[in-house]
């Protein structure tokens, strides 16, 4: 059957090509930059632009994403929290699986 798509034609902006990515790479699925001429040559289809779906079109993804405004300090605090938890678990693992606790107790009683 036929499908109606509402949208507008948009030319892609220039992207920075990834390092060590040649245009004739063997892995076609990994595209670092949208180059319509190269994609047209590889695929064999005539490509003239990209269709951006209108927000009200069926199948369009959400376009009004909420802005997340979290300071970098909150990210650093969150990372510190998890690294501290990992360190605490490593210390507990050492005490649980070695005789380190027994050795420490013997040192304190021998003094």
Spatial neighbors of 14 by CB under 8 A, at least 6 apart, are 33
Residue with more model confidence, 48 or 104: 104
Asked whether residue 43 is domain-assigned, the answer is yes
What number is the average pLDDT over the span 8-31?
59
For residues 2 and 40, state if they share a domain.
yes
For residues 101 and 77, state if they share a domain.
yes
Q: Which pLDDT band holds residue 51 (cuts at 50, 70, 90)?
A: confident
DSSP 8-state code for residue 68: P
| pTM score over 0.75 | no
- The residues pairing with 7 across neighbouring beta strands, listed in sequence order, are 53
Q: Give the integer Cα–Cα distance in Å for 85 and 16.
A: 39
For residues 16 and 57, state if they share a domain.
yes
CA 5 to centroid of chain Cα atoms = 29
Hunting for tokens 């001429």 — which residue is that?
Answer: 37
- Are 9 and 51 a contacting pair, CB within 8 Å? yes
Domain that holds residue 47: 1-62
pLDDT for position 11: 65
For residues 98 and 50, state if they share a domain.
no
């Amino acid at each position: 059957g036929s499908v109606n798509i509402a949208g507008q034609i948009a030319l892609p902006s220039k992207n920075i090509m990834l390092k060590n990515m040649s245009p004739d790479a063997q892995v076609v699925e990994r595209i670092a930059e949208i180059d319509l001429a190269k994609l047209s040559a590889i695929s064999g289809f005539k490509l003239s632009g990209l269709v951006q779906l209108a927000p009200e079109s069926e199948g369009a993804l959400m376009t009004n994403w909420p802005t997340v405004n979290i300071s970098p300090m909150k990210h650093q605090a969150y990372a510190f929290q998890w690294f501290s938890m990992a360190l605490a678990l490593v210390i507990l693992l050492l005490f649980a699986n070695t005789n380190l606790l027994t050795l420490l107790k013997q040192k304190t009683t021998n003094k």
